[in-house]
Amino acid sequence: MIELDAKTLAMMEEIRSLGRTHIRPMGLEADRTATPPPVDHEFYLICTRQGGLVSKMIGADEGPTALDWKPVRNFLIGEECAYWDRGVALSLPGPGLGGPALRNTGTPEQRQRFLSIFEDHSKARWGAMAMTEPEAGSDVARIKTRARKDGDEWVLNGQKMFCSNSARADWVVVWATIDPALGRGGHRAFVVERGTPGFEIIKVEHKMGSRGYETASFVLEDCRIPGDNLLGGEAFYEAKKGFKASMATFNMTRPLHTAHGVGMGRAAHDFALDFVRNEYPAQGRRRQRALERLARIRRGLHTARLMYLNAVWLAKNGQSNAMEASYAKMYSPPVILEAVAAALDILGEAGVRNDKMLEKLYRDVKILDIGEGTQQVQRHVVARQMLKFPMD
């Protein structure tokens, strides 16, 4: 049994309560209307008020800008949020995927400037991160968004897509290159604040599932940002840490993806479990098959959970976790998709009905094998490290 401390348990209880009353109903509504909850949704205010969810998740004890955050706790909370609805979980106010980038790469001044806004509990605020481009998805080394220094400012030009919450974010961490010829060595991360001239949202995507959060595309046209919005400062990149910094971000977001998957798989499992308890005959071959399917689902989810906890534990202890993060991200999505599919099998034809929720989970869960590096990217990452697999 994994032991949870009292504070984590209390937070999990809070999430569970909010999950029932808000997160799941919001997720179902967003799915039916194909529209994420509005930015002024009452739940987002509940999340941001003093002592609320967001301040706890970003480590109120340590201060929101502290490096000594509680990743294992946050990942467990991420799992629990995704149990109720991953889409809504991803839409929750807070620094989002920009948080790990700021914590890993940002200077103390930048962490203070961009993370302390979440101490304002009067309104919901979001952060975001943008890496993917129309012609650079899995191969992030090929990003084309250009950054040019002009006096004390940086000028950004390019297009980003599949960027979660960017349409409602106060700031977006944008990855760009100062020179494509430098490859990964030319990568830089910038914080672009909302309202900056030249930063324009051009499209909010319509998706098969995970509709509880916005996935948006934006353009940067001669977008001028202050020089000190270069994440980590010039010295950081002179030490050739640019690409490594983006990869370090993935080393945390990939296990988080796995944590979300475990939560979604658990939701499917619990739904199927209730169905077996209430609808299946008390004995017989059909029941036996269902129980074996449930056990297999449990096995996959337990294994995936150990893998993400292991990856996060390594990071928390200052150890390299690149391989373990990719192992978790490689292993888990297919297992979790299989879990949801098996849960559907348990329900049979009834499973396809929208009011049974499993058909939604089946649509929602597929993105796990794509976002934060596809299954194939994870195998590339491992092959590069383990087999010196050449980069073309």
Q: Catalytic residue positions?
A: 372
Residue found by looking up tokens 């995936």 in the block: 304
273 binds other proteins (CB under 8 A): yes
Q: Please identify which residue in 208, 354, 389, 391 interacts with other proteins, judged by CB under 8 A.
A: 389
25 φ/ψ angles, rounded to the nearest 5 degrees: -60, -40
Does position 379 interact with other proteins (CB under 8 A)? The reply is: yes
388 binds other proteins (CB under 8 A): yes
183-215 in b/e form (b: 16+ CB < 10 A) is ebebbbbbbbebebeebebeeeeebebbbbbbb
Nearest to other proteins of 85, 324 (CB atom): 324
Does residue 7 touch other proteins according to CB under 8 A? Answer: no
Q: Which two tokens stand for residue 269?
A: 């499992």
Q: Which residues, 6 or more positions from 179, have their beta carbon under 8 angstroms from its beta carbon?
A: 186
Distances from the Cα of 247 to the Cαs of 109, 188, 303, 380, in angstroms?
22, 12, 24, 13
One DSSP character per residue, 22-54 reads: IIHHHHHHHHHHT-PPPTT-HHHHHHHSTTSHH
Beta bridge partners of 199: 220
Residue from 41, 49, 184, 298 that binds other proteins (CB under 8 A)?
298
Q: Check residue 361 for interaction with other proteins (CB under 8 A).
A: no
Compute the least distance from the CB of residue 292 to other proteins, in Å. Answer: 5
User: Cβ(80)–Cβ(263) under 8 Å?
Assistant: yes
Based on the shown chain and the rule CB under 8 A, indicate whether residue 21 belongs to the binding site for other proteins: no
**String marking each residue 60-89 x if it binds other proteins according to CB under 8 A:** ------------xx--x---x---------
Among 187, 211, 266, 360, binds other proteins (CB under 8 A): 266
DSSP assignment of 306-357, as one string? HHHHHHHHHHHTT---HHHHHHHHHHHHHHHHHHHHHHHHHHGGGGGSGGGS
Q: How far is the CB of 291 from other proteins (least distance, A)?
A: 4
Q: Using CB under 8 A, pick the residue from 146, 204, 313, 345 that binds other proteins.
A: 313
Which one, of 31, 86, 82, lies nearest residue 355 by Cα?
31
Query: In angstroms, what is the minimal distance from the CB of 13 to other proteins?
Result: 6
- With CB under 8 A as the rule, give the number of residues binding other proteins: 55
Question: Contact letters (x/-) for other proteins, 331-360, by CB under 8 A?
Answer: x-----------------------------
Instruction: Write phi, then psi, for 210 (nearest 5 degrees).
Output: 45, 50
Regarding 299 and contact with other proteins (CB under 8 A), the answer is yes
Does residue 270 interact with other proteins by CB under 8 A? yes
272: alpha, beta or left? (left if phi > 0; alpha if psi -120 to 50): alpha
Work out whether 285 is an interface residue with other proteins (CB under 8 A): no
How many CB atoms are located within 10 Å of the residue 298 CB?
15
Span interacting with other proteins, options 24-32, 118-126, 141-149, 318-326, rule CB under 8 A: 318-326
**Residue ranges that bind other proteins, judged by CB under 8 A:** 1-5, 8-9, 12-13, 16, 72-73, 76, 80, 266, 270, 273, 276-277, 288, 291-292, 294-296, 298-299, 302-303, 305-307, 309-310, 313-314, 317, 323-324, 326-327, 330-331, 376, 378-383, 386-390
